[in-house]
């Protein structure tokens, strides 16, 4: 029974882990400077927020919290994304000779882009809560360990591979600047979308 459950968790988790979003764009930018280690630390920061959230869902606390804080999370998260985009673009457009790259801490980026992302929280409260309930029903609170280990390895593998991929090729300084500006623009768009959703309840993006 445990193997089918692990398989189901992995398949369902891919809908959240592999979905394009601000954490993906930020990890790619961080990978330019830190390589695969940047992806590892982003994953740790992400897990530092995700595991407590899973535990809260298991104890029935998270639903009330996210309902009350959804608008705040959207606006605060959007503002943080806009700031991240600005700092990354500023680094990319600098006339300094060093290779432009994100100056953000990988761990703090993982924490911030998870804690202030209402869609990440909504995924766990909505989709993830079903898996949490099933795990607790099957194995009690020990099921949370089974569930989380079945999920979190995908986060680490994906973010490490993503960060490593952006650091492999030897690009020109101009290409690095163009890539960083592109990633900054992507993060900025997600930030504006978050703010719009927090204020009006309407998304600007179709995803």
Is pTM beyond 0.85? Reply is no
For 159-170, write each residue's pLDDT tens digit: 998 888 877 764
Is residue 95 domain-resident? yes
pLDDT at site 12: 81
How many domains, in total, are found in the chain? 1
Q: Domain of 140?
A: 2-12+22-199
109 pLDDT above the threshold of 60:
yes
pLDDT, tens digit (0-9, with 9 covering 90-100), for 30-54: 888 888 999 999 999 999 999 999 9
Q: Tokens 């309902």, residue? A: 67
Burial class from Cβ neighbours inside 10 Å (0-12, 13-18, 19+) for residue 155 reads buried
H-state helical runs in the chain: 2-17, 22-34, 36-58, 62-92, 106-115, 118-123, 129-139, 142-168, 173-200
Q: Determine, yes or no, domain membership for 206.
A: no
Residue 17 lies in a domain: no
- As a whole number of angstroms, the longest Cα–Cα distance in the chain is 59
Contact indicator for 116, 191 with CB cutoff of 8 Å: no
For residue 63, the model assigns a pLDDT of 54
Say if residues 13 and 150 touch (Cβ distance below 8 Å). yes
- The DSSP 8-state label assigned to residue 90 in this structure reads H
CA distance 87 to 183: 12
Q: Which tens digits make up the pLDDT trace of 49-108? A: 999 999 988 887 455 555 555 677 678 767 877 887 787 788 777 765 444 455 678 999
Residue 180 lies in a domain: yes
Q: Is residue 185 part of a domain?
A: yes
Q: Write down the mean pLDDT value for the chain.
A: 80
191 in a domain, yes or no? yes
């Amino acid at each position: 029974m445990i193997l089918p459950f692990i398989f189901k968790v992995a398949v369902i988790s891919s809908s959240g882990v592999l979905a394009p979003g601000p954490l993906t764009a930020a990890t790619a930018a961080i990978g330019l400077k830190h390589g695969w280690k940047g992806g590892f630390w982003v994953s740790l920061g992400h897990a530092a927020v995700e595991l407590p959230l899973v535990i809260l869902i298991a104890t029935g606390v998270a639903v009330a919290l996210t309902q009350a804080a959804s608008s705040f999370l959207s606006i605060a998260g959007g503002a943080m994304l806009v700031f991240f985009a600005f700092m990354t673009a500023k680094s990319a457009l600098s006339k300094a000779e060093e290779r432009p790259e994100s100056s953000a801490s990988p761990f703090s980026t993982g924490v911030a882009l998870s804690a202030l992302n209402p869609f990440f929280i909504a995924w766990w409260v909505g989709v993830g809560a079903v898996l949490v309930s099933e795990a607790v029903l099957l194995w009690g609170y020990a099921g949370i360990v089974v569930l989380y280990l079945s999920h979190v390895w995908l986060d680490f593998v994906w973010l490490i591979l993503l960060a490593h991929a952006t650091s492999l090729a030897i690009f020109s300084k101009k290409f690095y600047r163009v890539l960083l500006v592109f990633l900054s623009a992507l993060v900025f768009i997600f930030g504006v979308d978050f703010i719009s959703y927090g204020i009006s309840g309407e998304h600007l993006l179709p995803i």
